[in-house]
Amino acid sequence: MLEIRESQIEDIFATQLDEVKALLSLSESLTLFERQKKVNSGRIDLFFISISHLHLIELKAVPSRIEFCDQTIGYKNDLLYLQTNKQLPPLPLQSYLVCPQFSYYHKNYCIDNGIIPIEFSPYELLKNYYFKIKAISSLVAIKPSNHELWNLHLLNPILYAFNGETTIMSLSDATGKSKSTVGSYLRLAMELQLIEKTDADGLCLTALGKKYVLLKDTSAERLNDRQVELLKDFIIRNPFSSPAIYGIYTAVEAIFLLSKNYYPVPLVKAHGFFTTLSGKQSEWAEKASNDAFAMYSNYAINLGLLARIGRDYYITPSGIRFILFLELNKSILLINSI
């Protein structure tokens, strides 16, 4: 049983013109001329124009009824009257009644009266709309990756060893770490957008990476406050830019959301919820889930966004500000893509 307001389906038709074009089997591009156009017998749901035709669409979210057919016929006659009075362009008019299902009788009744009956699937329409929204498709596609690097400050010796363009071998020699270890660290650094590949297949610091290195404090092993603020600000503004950044954000979001039910948030509740938020529920076994949450929650602790006492997690004042700003930016991204 379909339960949706007709206006919500109309919203999709009004904004996803390629979807409408495909549904109506048209070769020409469409432009929305008017929505809820007022005519003598009522209001036309959608009124489009193409290069060669005008297109009337009466949309229903329930199976066809004879009164729907008559309603569309009335709208068609109203538009033809406006054309005779030169209130609309003198283009041929195509009229459609769009319903999830048509009876044989209603379909023939429409055709006999110059109305084109079109069946559509609300389920496919809603699903396609969800995945076509750019920000949502990015959100759905991105999932945290496991780098098996437990603290962000372990990146520092690698980053500090950069001197212009370099290679994994050079960094291995400079830091005394194996190539495989350096490679793992560099993959995380690349996801944090601190380094990038060069045209010559080497590696170099990004603008963000250069700022991060310039803020280094050689007397301290961990990230200093200025480095922390730099990374937090970047994550807030770019929540979907990489799996690692999304993992940090999701770890904080998991604790923030769970705090409505438990506070402090116990580890046993946190890692499973983190896995669900990450979209990894069908991919991670329990150990992988535990390890991933431990890793990304450690990154969040490194950035001062979370705190852990024993096996309980707390969200810090900085973490609350972080998640609220990030949710605001995420909402803006989503709204602008609709």
pLDDT tier at 6, thresholds 50, 70, 90: confident
What's the confidence (pLDDT) of residue 269? 87
Query: In terms of C-beta distances under 8 Å and separation of at least 24 residues, what long-range contacts does 128-136 make, across chains too?
Result: 128/16, 128/19, 129/12, 129/16, 129/19, 132/16, 133/334, 133/337, 133/338, 134/337, 135/240, 135/330, 135/333, 135/334, 135/336, 135/337, 136/334, 136/337
Over residues 124-165, the pLDDT tens digits come to: 777 777 666 655 555 555 566 666 777 888 888 889 888 888
- Domain locations in the chain as residue ranges: 6-128, 133-145+224-338, 152-221
Q: Is the peptide bond before 266 cis (omega within 30 degrees of 0)?
A: no
Beta bridge partners, 98, equal: 59, 118
pLDDT tier at 211, thresholds 50, 70, 90: very high
What's the confidence (pLDDT) of residue 126? 75
CATH 1.10.10.10 assigned to 152-221: yes
More confident residue, 239 or 204: 204
d(CA 242, CA 90): 52
pLDDT above 80 for 232: yes
pLDDT tier at 166, thresholds 50, 70, 90: confident
What's the confidence (pLDDT) of residue 73? 93
pLDDT tier at 2, thresholds 50, 70, 90: low
pLDDT tier at 333, thresholds 50, 70, 90: low
Share of the chain above pLDDT 90, in %: 17
Backbone angles phi and psi of 86, in degrees to 5: 60, 35
Over residues 66-104, the pLDDT tens digits come to: 999 999 999 999 999 998 888 888 889 999 999 988 999
More confident residue, 20 or 138: 20
Which amino acid would we find at residue 318? S
What's the confidence (pLDDT) of residue 116? 93
What's the confidence (pLDDT) of residue 173? 85
pTM of the model: 0.64
What's the confidence (pLDDT) of residue 220? 67
Fold of 6-128: Trna Endonuclease; Chain: A, domain 1 (3.40.1350)
